[in-house]
Homo-oligomer: A and B are copies of this chain.
Amino acid sequence: MVERRTPIPVPEAVSRVMQFAVEGENEIIPIEASYGRFLAEDLIADHDVPHFDRSPYDGFAVRAIDTKDAGQENPIEFEVVEEIGAGSVATKQVGAYQAIRIMTGAQMPEECDAVVMLELTTELERDGKKYMVIKRPFKSGDNVSFQGEDVAKGSVLVKKGTHINPGIKALLATFGYHQVTVAKRPIVGIYATGTELLDVDEALVPGKIRNSNAFMVSAQIQRAGAEPKYFGKLPDNFELCFEAIRNAIDQVDILITTGGVSVGDYDYLPAIYEKLGAEVLFNKIAMRPGSVTTVAQLNGKLLYGLSGNPSACYVGFELLARPVIRTRLFSNKPHLQKIKAVLHADFPKPNPFTRFVRSTIGFDEGKVSVTPSGLDKSNVVSSLAGANALMILPGGTRGYGRGMEVDVLYLEDQEGSKWPWA
C-alpha cells in the first residue's frame, strides 16, 4: 500500500529541525590554522591601537608651535637632533626649533605634536650638524596617529560565531591571539544508500549509476564549515542498513543518509527510524525538489534522510542541515542569506508547491539578477555545477516570467540570515 504523507510548509520543516539545533564545542588552535574557521569567543582588544602616539609617515617630528610663522617667503630651519626608526624610541629631548627624523610607524617623541612629511622638507648639513627646512606651518596633531584612535582597549571587535577572514586574522595577530578559540567542526556522517550505486572508480553497468551524492554532500558539509565523515554506500537491504546506521550514530554529531526515503518498496529509512526509536519530525515537505526529505531525531541527535535525487539532496541539505551546522559554529545567522533578484528566465507553468531552482546570481549594472543554472529537472546533476544560489518560486496558480522580482538564497556567502522564512 502507498503510505499517505501530509506535506508541511518549508518554514515549518525548518522550524522543527531548528528545535534540535544546539551550539557546538570549542577548540583551541594556532592562529596559523585559523583562516576559514569560526570564532567561539568574541575578539576583544587587549590594548589601544595604536598603543602609543605614532607617525603615519616618514618625516620629521616637531613642536607645532615652532612652525607657526613658516611660509614660502619665510622658511624655518630645524636642527635634526636624532633619528628614530619604527620600533625605536627617542632618547633626546626636543627643544625649540629642533626636530627628530622619524620613520613610518615610530613612536612620537614626547615633546613633539606634529609630523612634517619628508617630501615637504629640504635637508642640509652645516658644521657637522643636520638641519631641515620647511615652508609652511603645521597644527598640533597634524600627521600624528593618536593612541587608541583606531581601537580602544576592551572593545569587542568581532562577535563570536563570525567566519575568520583575512582581516579578522590580522586582528587576531594584532591583539596577541597566537592561540585562537574556534568552534570545533561538527562531524557530519554520510551514508549513500541504493543498490543502484556504483563506486566512482567502477565501470558503468546497465541499470546502475555512480554514487555522486555522497561526494556532493561532503563538499556541502565542508562549505557549511563542518567535517564530513563518509561511511560508504549501502545496498537496499534493511538489516544491513539498520546495523550500519545504528553503529554510525555514536560517531557523529549529525548523520545524513541519501536515498531510501521515498515511498518505494526498497525505501527503508522510515522503517529504520522506527526501529531505532527515533522521532520522525516530518517525512514530506511542500516543496520541489526534495518533497520526500525526512528528518528524525534520536536523543536530540538529528538524522537526515535526504532524497537520492541529486538536486533534491542538494536543496534538502542547504535548507535543513546547513543552519544546524552553523548554529553549532555559534552563528546567530545560521540560514542562507535571502536576497531579492530579477528573474532572467520564464517559468510559465504554475506549480502547486514552492520550487527551489538551482541558479546563478549575476550583478548587472548594480542589480542582482538570477538565471537557472541548467535544465530545471530534479535529476539533472549538470544544473548544479554553475549554481551559486537557490531561486525560490513560491507555489501558486501563476507562473513566473523574465523581469519579475524573486527571492534567492545565496549559497557562496558567509553572512547568512537569521530567519529567511518570515
Contacts and interface: CB of A to CB of B under 8 A. Distances in A.
A366 interface: yes
Contacts of A86: 194-196, 207, 236, 266, 308
B236 A85 contact: yes
A230 B31 CA distance: 13
A256 to B, nearest CB: 13
A386 interface: yes
A326 to B, nearest CB: 16
Contact of A157 (B123, B211, B265, B385): B385
Given A165-B385, A366-B340, A379-B145, A88 B31 contact: no
Interface string A299-318: 00000000011100010000
A217 B173 CA distance: 12
A178 interface: yes
A174 B192 CA distance: 14
B308 A104 contact: yes
A360 to B, nearest CB: 9
A207 B176 contact: no
Interface stretch (A43-51, A67-75, A181-189): A43-51
Chain A interface size, as a band, is 35 or more
Copies of this chain, tallied across the complex: 2
A202 B87 CA distance: 14
Interface in A376-408: 377-388, 405
B88 A381 contact: no
A365 B340 contact: yes
Interface stretch (A21-29, A218-226, A346-354): A218-226
Contacts of A157: 382, 385
Nearest to A2: B118
Nearest to A220: B166
A323 to B, nearest CB: 17
B215 A200 contact: no
A366 B384 contact: no
A137 B263 CA distance: 23
Contacts of A380: 150
A339 B363 contact: yes
Contacts of A158: 385
Nearest to A266: B85
Interface string A362-378: 01011110000001011
Contact of A222 (B36, B265, B378): B36
A197 to B, nearest CB: 7
Given A157-B385, A210-B173, A166 B368 contact: no
A208 interface: yes
A178 B150 contact: no
A170 B384 contact: yes
B32 A150 contact: no
B207 A49 contact: no
A103 interface: yes
B368 A342 contact: no
In order of increasing CB-CB distance, the 8 nearest A-B pairs are A167-B384, A87-B196, A86-B196, A170-B216, A166-B219, A87-B195, A340-B366, A173-B212
29 contacts: A32-B230, A50-B209, A56-B379, A85-B195, A85-B196, A85-B266, A86-B236, A89-B207, A104-B308, A104-B309, A105-B194, A150-B375, A157-B382, A165-B219, A165-B388, A166-B314, A166-B384, A168-B385, A170-B213, A170-B216, A170-B310, A170-B384, A171-B382, A175-B210, A176-B202, A340-B365, A342-B366, A363-B410, A368-B368
